[in-house]
Amino acid sequence: MKLNRTILKRIIRAIADTRADEIACDECFRELDRFVELKLTGKSAEEALPLVKYHLDHCPACREEYEALFEALKVTGKRM
Amino acid sequence: MLSWFKKIKRTHYSDEEWVKLLRRPPDEKAIHELREILRRGLINALASRIKRDREQIAEDYVQEALLKILDNLESYRYEARFTSWAMKIAIHEALTDLRRKHWKDISLNNLNGRDGSVPIIEVYSSEDPAPDYETGLRLMMQELQRIMEESLTEKQRLAITSVMVQGLPADQVAKLMGTNRNNMYKLIHDARMKIKHEFEKKGIELTDFLDKT
């Protein structure tokens, strides 16, 4: 299997960034609504929930759900 | 964005009222209102993912999500708005299903290293490689290969290879391996920790490599 440098760099970055206190997907999901609300109200979600931020930066599936939830709540907030 | 909370507060039930109204048998008006909120949110959230029949597809996901929300009312913790919590469930249901459909054709045969072996990992040479850098890179890849063979379990090797090297979606690989996304994340996390410690023991600085690329 041959890797290009972009993929190799991503793998090495993921290994180098590994932390002992990472949370997994279920815990991230529990906090995701609160995280998005903080973002939408202009507060620092990253400071309040740093492990959620870390997880979202390293888990593509959770990241996708975060971005979709952000888009959804943005529009449902507007018309209420 | 700052007015977002005010807008959502003004016209809706309180979080406590939502929960009370949706307890079985649920209030029809509350169901109707929640359905409409979820529908609008999902249509917007799915805009970049679905181009055709989005409204109908969103309706179907709303229906499935409503059942899940009603079944899980007692797990709502009042830490975010009720409607944010409900939307989170709808988004999760929809995207999990979309990923499943998109990747429906992958099977165990697509997973490298499914027999427990470690695939030989090589890197394309750059067009104008600096000799020292190329040598360092080769040694690092050999070390990664060795760590994967000697320090990881068979499941960890399969998970790392499929998700991190091949780039397959974690939830679909998890399903093929008879587990779920949460456990897959933990499996890969444990593997990353092991690899990182092994590199540290050898005195290899991964950030040096990243700085030079």
Interface pTM (ipTM) of the complex? 0.92
N- to C-terminal Cα separation, chain B? 38
What would the pLDDT profile of B155-167 be if each residue is shown by its tens digit?
Answer: 999 999 899 988 8
Q: How far is CA A5 from CA A65, B81, B104, in A?
A: 28, 43, 28
Backbone angle region of B149, left / alpha / beta, with phi > 0 → left and psi within -120 to 50 → alpha: alpha
Task: Determine, for residues A3 and B42 on separate chains, whether the beta-carbon distance falls below 8 Å.
Answer: no
Please compute the mean of the pLDDT values over residues A10-35 and round it to a whole number. 96
Query: Given a cut of 90, is residue B112 above it in pLDDT?
Result: no
Q: Which amino acid is at B46?
A: L
Q: What is the torsion angle, in degrees rounded to the nearest 10, for the CA atoms of residue A62, residue A67, residue A68 and residue A73?
A: 120
Task: Collect all residues of chain A within an 8 Å Cβ-Cβ radius of residue B181.
Answer: 25, 61
Q: What is the pLDDT of residue B18?
A: 97
Separation CA A39–CA A70 (nearest Å) = 8
Separation CA B78–CA B76 (nearest Å) = 6
Residue B19: partners with Cβ closer than 8 Å, 6 or more residues away: B73, B76, B82
Task: Determine, for residues A25 and B182 on separate chains, whether the beta-carbon distance falls below 8 Å.
Answer: yes
Separation CA B190–CA A16 (nearest Å) = 13
Q: What is the pLDDT of residue B104?
A: 86
Task: Determine, for residues B122 and A8 on separate chains, whether the beta-carbon distance falls below 8 Å.
Answer: no
Task: Collect all residues of chain B within an 8 Å Cβ-Cβ radius of residue A44.
Answer: none
Task: Determine, for residues B210 and A11 on separate chains, whether the beta-carbon distance falls below 8 Å.
Answer: no
Q: How far is CA A78 from CA A56, B5, B34, B65, B198, in A?
A: 25, 10, 15, 22, 51
CB nearest to B181's CB, from A25, A68, A75: A25
Q: How many angstroms separate the CA of residue A2 from the nearest CA in chain B?
A: 5
Separation CA A12–CA B143 (nearest Å) = 12
Q: What is the chain A residue with the closest CA to B46?
A: A68
> In chain B, what's the furthest Cα-to-Cα distance?
72
What does pLDDT average to over chain B?
87
CB B51 within 8 A of CB B34: no
Q: Rounded to the nearest 5°, which phi and psi values hold at B167?
A: 75, 25
Query: Given a cut of 60, is residue B2 above it in pLDDT?
Result: no
Q: Residue for token digits 């359905």?
A: B35
Q: What is the pLDDT of residue B136?
A: 76
CB nearest to B210's CB, from A16, A64, A79: A16
Predicted TM-score (pTM) of this structure: 0.87
- Interface contact B95, partner A, CB < 8 A: yes
Query: Given a cut of 60, is residue B47 above it in pLDDT?
Result: yes
Identify each DSSP E strand in B51-205 by its residue range. 122-123
Of residues B213 and B128, more confidence is placed in: B213
- Interface contact A43, partner B, CB < 8 A: no
Query: Given a cut of 90, is residue B57 above it in pLDDT?
Result: yes
Task: Determine, for residues A12 and B210 on separate chains, whether the beta-carbon distance falls below 8 Å.
Answer: yes
Task: Calculate what percentage of chain B has a pLDDT beyond 90.
Answer: 61
Measured in residues, chain B has a length of 213
Task: Collect all residues of chain B within an 8 Å Cβ-Cβ radius of residue A37.
Answer: 4-5, 80-81, 84
Query: Given a cut of 60, is residue B146 above it in pLDDT?
Result: yes
Q: What is the pLDDT of residue B26?
A: 94
